[in-house]
Amino acid sequence: MSKVCPYYKGGYCTSSLLEQPSQDFVSSQRCLTENYKTCRFYIPKEEEKEGVEKYIEGTNEILLYAKVNILDELLISECEYYELIKTDKGYIAKCKLMNRVITKSQAKLCISYWNTCPIRKTVKE
């Protein structure tokens, strides 16, 4: 079991509960020790994966997030970590680095600023 929070990447918190990666909630006393499990932005990986799987399968969860996540148009990014997933309701975008579905506005940022993305930069370090 790792003592470092799985959402801590290059000084940023990448929890799926945040709209975008942020340094605002990062604390070395919490993020770099087993205390990360007490953070309000921590979700055990098995619960997060289950949520994405339900979303992709088109269960009721997709109805809750349709206005935020279902793309109005097909958005294609040059980023190799950007993935489009077809669902029964339309396409959704996923960031492979964060391992989560992203919002329409985040997908648009992936198209315009994919090469300067802060999450992407952490992988190159």
pTM for the model: 0.51
Residue 20: DSSP 8-state: S
The verdict on residue 72 lying in a domain is yes
| Domain housing 103 | 67-125
Q: Is residue 105 part of a domain?
A: yes
What pLDDT does residue 78 have?
Answer: 92
Is 92 part of a structural domain of the chain? yes
pLDDT at 107: 93
Total count of domains within the chain: 1
Q: Is residue 44 in some structural domain?
A: no
**DSSP string for 35-73:** GGGGSTT---HHHHHHHHHHHHHT-THHHHHHHHHS-SS
35 lies in a domain? no
Instruction: Give, in degrees to the nearest 5, the angle at Cα 58 between 51 and 104.
Output: 75
**How much is the pLDDT for 108?**
93
74 located within any domain: yes
Q: What is the pLDDT of residue 33?
A: 92
Instruction: Going from the first residue of the chain to its last (125 residues), give the mean pLDDT of each consecutive group of 10, the final group possibly shorter.
Output: 84 84 89 90 64 46 65 89 85 87 90 88 66
